[in-house]
Structure 1
Amino acid sequence: MSNSARPVPVPPDALACCTPLAREPMGEDQAATVAPLLKALADPVRLRLMSLVLSHEGREACVCDLLPAFDLSQPTISHHLKVLHEAGLLDREKRGVWVYYQARPEAMEAMVNLFAAVVPAGTSV
């Protein structure tokens, strides 16, 4: 990522703590910190955008790569990407006239950990 692209600061609790819900009940502070991440993903367009970015070659994509998958205008797609970026789920880097988006690894790890079930050996979920 170039020095010109500055990630939006996300509270460390949102990305680092995420005690799996199956291990212990979530506290008020953690819920308040994680809720904006989940809220950003709760929109079907944004959920699809995350999926497209994650599955795109090199795990990064620009609006020009994402636009054909939707019957939406470029400004609308850019708005949804901005919401994901501001929630701390995507990093972005400007290259020429295009902005490329990548999922923040720590945000993806937090989401996976949040819903990780503690499963005894030999048991399937």
Structure 2
Amino acid sequence: MPKALPVIDVRAPICCAPVSAAPMRDDAALEVALRLKALADPVRIKLVSILLTADEGAVCTCDLAAGVDLAESTVSHHLGQLRKAGMVESERRGMNVYHRARAESLEALRVVLDPNRCR
């Protein structure tokens, strides 16, 4: 069984220099790793893609479930992992929950991983 990573609050934006700037500190590397771990699933990647390209901004769990052909409970689990990583925000509207991607969190991750950022 793989060793579990420590639990830290990763909802805040990544606050470290790009990986190409200098060798990363342990705490910064852990922050990036936890966010990448949250994305390291094909269903989660597809959910983020659906949320980023949604015309109406927020998408209901039921529509996301249909988009990835999974049960709503399974989709809710995946969205929970993305929410813990700060990549998705959710809002209850009556009986439904609507989700939207936090583009700024995904952009921060892209900036940290961009090898050309410090050139």
Aligned identity (percent) is: 41
Question: Which one of 99, 102, 105 corresponds to residue 103 of structure 2?
Answer: 105
Equivalent position of 2:10 in the other structure: 10
Equivalent position of 1:114 in the other structure: 112
Q: Is the 8 A contact 1:18 1:110 kept in 2?
A: no
Equivalent position of 1:28 in the other structure: 26
TM-score by length of structure 1 reads 0.77
**Deviation readout 1:45-85 (Å, 9 max, x if unpaired):** 11111111111113321112212222311111111111111
Query: SS where residue 110 of structure 1 aligns?
Result: helix
Unaligned runs of 5+ in 2: 1-8
User: What does residue range 64-103 of structure 1 map to in structure 2 within 5 Å?
Assistant: 64-103=62-101
Residue 105 of structure 1, CA deviation: 3.5
Q: Indicate how the Cα distance of structure 1 residues 67 and 35 shifts in structure 2: closer, same or farther if over 3 A, else same.
A: same
Aligned length: 111
Equivalent position of 1:4 in the other structure: none
TM-score by length of structure 2 reads 0.80
Unaligned runs of 5+ in 1: 1-8
